[in-house]
Structure 1
Amino acid sequence: MRYPFWLPFLQLAGVNMVSNLLVPLAGLLDLAFLGNLAEIRHLAGVAIATVLFNYLYWTFGFLRMGTTGTTAQAVGRGDADEVLVTGLRGGAIALTVGLGIVLLQLPLREIGFTLLSAAPEVKQAGRAYYNAMIWGAPATLLNLVWMGWYLGRGKGRAVLLLSAVSNGVNVVLNYWLIVRWGWASAGAGAATALSQYAMLGVALGLLGCEVSGAQVRAVFPKIWNAAALKSLVLLNGNIVIRTFALITTFAVFTNLSAAVGTTVLAANTLLLQVVTLAAYFIDGLAFATETYAGQFHGGGQRDRLRALAELSGALSLGLGLAIALLFALLPQPLFRLLTHHADVLEGVRQSVWWLLPLLGFGSLAYMLDGYFLGITAGNVLRKSALASSLLGFAPIAAIAWQTQSNALLWLALTCFMATRTVTLGWALRQSYLERC
């Protein structure tokens, strides 16, 4: 049988999807709360502040991605001590970085909002969101580590529980702080920060139930092993560059949308939420791919890696195209749930069909990301992301800025995803040839 692992793979992917789905659903409810306020500036302000938080948090996305791959490979080798050490090492780094972000919040805010383009009232709303949300930095980064650790071990139910707590608390607090108390964008930021601490509390409780203090003390000296840290720095360096390139691409897209106009920014923000929604669905497959690729690689089961890529690739492509078609065919009823502003809905209608090529290429790119993260091939991810940003996105985005064309902005983002798919697909083909 070519895919003997298909059933546990799909089970893990399914749990991951449900877990991931809670994140964009909470985000969509946040947007709905903000989008139905009297002033659209609160929605736009959160959009530009989110660009800054993407840099602050997802630049350190290696805390999740690197943890998953290295944990999965340790599981594949049957090395229980290394599994625990990987989580503790990541947690120590996350706590240090998170506290540093809190201490440097004022200069980070001033630099960030100086570089962002938006109307003064939009920036004011964005600052209010930032000022509340920044206090959640330590919990947010620690949660990235624990999510990656449980993913690497294939513990889908733990991941689902953590996601349910975080997003459930976020939705409840958003309703109270935005709708009931009228805190607008500041309420959205406070709700997100508090929900991260709730998630961290549950994560530490789960850890305490399965790991004893004696086990931690036994492996503690290994956390600072020089060879392991060097390997981790090399992997994480590649992941940081890869993540920075991806975040910059979406940040430039959002910033150029703001330069075209507040209405365009609002419409593109809603469409990007669909991309995020699709990504979280597809990432259910990508995360499962990451787990199984790491375990197959760590266990020396190279013959199963190609079958894994084939199975996950076909499922990811079908899922991405299905989501794009749903929103492209039914834009009015779906997007009207998020905002009542007619000009924003018209902007959505004009651009919604870009979701089809964007998610077609993007679904394969997300899956391939998971594959190479699982085998910890960070250099492949770095090269692909840089080529996609500099060659696939930047030239067309520059023309879009000069012409103030929203259509060209979407073309640039689509070419970015297409270049990612082609470069990662080529690297996958080369890895097959090397094993022959």
Structure 2
Amino acid sequence: MSEAEPEPSLRRRFIALALPSIAASLMVPVASLIDTAILGHLDELEPLAGVALGGVIFDLLYWSFGFLRMGTTGLTAQAFGREQLGESRALLLRAGVLALVFAALLLGLQGAIGWVSFALLDGEVAVELAARAYFNARIWAAPAVLLNFCVMGWLLGMQRTRPILVIAVVANGVNVALDYLLIVRLGWGAAGAGWATMGSQYAALLAAVPMVWRAWAQTRGDQPTAPVLSWPHLAPLLHLGRHIWLRTLALITTFALFTNFSASFSSTLLAANAVLLRVLGLASYFIDGFAHATESLTGVLVGRDDKHGLRKLLGLAMRWGLATAGGFALAFIAFPQLFTLLTDQPELLAAVVGARGWLVLVLLLGSIAYVLDGYFIGLTAGVTLARAMLLSFGLGFLPLALWARYGDGGPQVLWLALLSFMAARALSLGVCVPATLSSADEKPGTSG
């Protein structure tokens, strides 16, 4: 894209990337709801509770390797923008090698991971047994999960989001079918849910093979695939991955502490905040679609050294992100009865509705942070991302959260801590934007 490219063309490309990403992202909560519905209709509650407990482990475990998706997207998009197609193909292979190494470690250490995890998590004996059965089955999905991260990142970096939607549909369709077979028909309970999730991940990987091969073949041309395993070529991905991992760890810790501190006040507040976070997560899936499009197009524009296009893209992404967040915010304020879709318990519903103002503010500031995250991932600015997230956690969230938990701040201050965290994310990334639009663009492999 040259500087003279008209804005409508950029807008069309942005929406063409964002809409399939949103649809694919929404498959995640839909699949979780179906899993919950199937397990929730069993005679015993232990399988549902066990899967919820085991799910915490995998959320933390697999989310820690999210850099395989994000790092691959940014570096691939930049190579694509520079028309270095041999390098873009090699990036998929490099990420895949790393994914297999990490997956082998997870499988080899699964006993230790399970022991530590269940030593830290609290649950009744029957619930823990169900959680262990779920863990012992789902852990075998590790190679497919991590390879799927690489595939998703590579396809997004190559500007191909429709295959991502197809892969998501296949994964969730297989998951639902296996849930019905293994849980309802065969009565395997929590273990059945684990095996179903494992099967769906391998089905997704198989579905991805022909689409990746087609994209690969279309980029062959006269450019040979760049070296895969030489250190100078692996170093940028590892360097970026380290900083994205630190960023992700701080993000996980923030929400884990928010939930844990909520439990210290009352079970009603814990449940209310859990509902509000679920709603925040649902809205975030929509905004993340725009963030993913921003990642991909930012990388391409950086590869082409098109700062004019970057300015246009950032403004476009901000408008869509804020408009989406604003739409959800208006719905939450104007129609509080929407929360009755999630709970019909009067005390819990009153707590949720009473705190929805905090949800709205967190969502609006969060939308800015999500878009800026996508922008800096596209820049492969790992140092900036890690520094901003650690600063937001250490100065924006933690002092207020500790005051809420151990001082006399109370639940309102806990929400203020989360709001401060989102504001710090938006501010700490926002102040770094002008430098990226001038002569000080961050280059892959140097800044992270």
Superposition TM-score, scaled by structure 2 size: 0.87
Verify: 1:376 aligned to 2:355, yes or no: no
Q: CA deviation at 1:393?
A: 1.4
**TM-superposition CA deviations, 1:221-280 (whole Å, max 9, x none):** 711122121222211111111111111212222333444455544443333222222222
| Residue in structure 2 matched with residue 359 of structure 1 by the alignment | 363
Q: CA deviation at 1:210?
A: 4.7
Q: 1:361 to 1:46 in 2, by over 3 A?
A: farther
Contact kept, 8 Å, 1:35 with 1:340, in 2: the verdict is no
Q: CA deviation at 1:183?
A: 4.7
C-alpha distance in 2, partners of 1:261/1:119? 19
SS of the equivalent of 1:5 reads helix
What is the identity percentage for the equivalent residue pairs of Structure 1 and Structure 2?
44
* Aligned-partner residue type, residue 24 of structure 1: P
* Aligned-partner residue type, residue 373 of structure 2: D
Verify: 1:199 aligned to 2:198, yes or no: no
Q: How many residues align?
A: 433
SS of the equivalent of 1:223 reads coil
Verify: 1:87 aligned to 2:92, yes or no: yes
Contact kept, 8 Å, 2:50 with 2:129, in 1: the verdict is yes
| Residue in structure 2 matched with residue 388 of structure 1 by the alignment | 392
* Aligned-partner residue type, residue 138 of structure 1: P
Matches within 5 A, 1:178-189: 178=183, 183-189=188-194
C-alpha distance in 2, partners of 1:426/1:261? 38
Contact kept, 8 Å, 2:7 with 2:312, in 1: the verdict is yes
Q: Given the alignment, which residue of 399, 405, 409 partners 1:401?
A: 405
RMSD of the TM alignment (CA)? 3.0
Q: CA deviation at 1:169?
A: 2.1
Q: CA deviation at 1:29?
A: 2.9
Verify: 1:229 aligned to 2:234, yes or no: yes
Q: 1:106 to 1:38 in 2, by over 3 A?
A: same
Q: 1:303 to 1:387 in 2, by over 3 A?
A: same
Q: CA deviation at 1:2?
A: 4.8
* Aligned-partner residue type, residue 371 of structure 2: M
Q: Given the alignment, which residue of 263, 266, 273 partners 1:268?
A: 273
Q: Given the alignment, which residue of 288, 311, 314 partners 1:309?
A: 314
C-alpha distance in 1, partners of 2:392/2:123? 26
Q: 1:409 to 1:148 in 2, by over 3 A?
A: same
Where does the alignment leave 5 or more consecutive residues of structure 2 unmatched?
1-5, 442-448
Verify: 1:279 aligned to 2:279, yes or no: no
* Aligned-partner residue type, residue 373 of structure 1: I
| Residue in structure 2 matched with residue 75 of structure 1 by the alignment | 80
**TM-superposition CA deviations, 1:349-405 (whole Å, max 9, x none):** 343333201111111111101100101111110111101111111122223333694
Q: Given the alignment, which residue of 10, 23, 30 partners 1:25?
A: 30
Q: 1:142 to 1:28 in 2, by over 3 A?
A: same
Structure with the higher helix share, 1 or 2: 1
C-alpha distance in 1, partners of 2:117/2:352? 27
Q: 1:331 to 1:304 in 2, by over 3 A?
A: same
C-alpha distance in 1, partners of 2:346/2:187? 24
* Aligned-partner residue type, residue 178 of structure 2: L
C-alpha distance in 1, partners of 2:352/2:54? 21
Q: CA deviation at 1:44?
A: 5.2
Q: Which moved more, 1:56-65 or 1:320-329?
A: 320-329
Q: CA deviation at 1:421?
A: 0.8
Q: Which moved more, 1:325-334 or 1:247-256?
A: 325-334
C-alpha distance in 2, partners of 1:32/1:355? 26
Q: CA deviation at 1:16?
A: 1.4
Matches within 5 A, 1:249-260: 249-260=254-265
| Residue in structure 1 matched with residue 446 of structure 2 by the alignment | none
Q: 1:210 to 1:65 in 2, by over 3 A?
A: closer
Contact kept, 8 Å, 2:151 with 2:212, in 1: the verdict is no
Where does the alignment leave 5 or more consecutive residues of structure 1 unmatched?
none
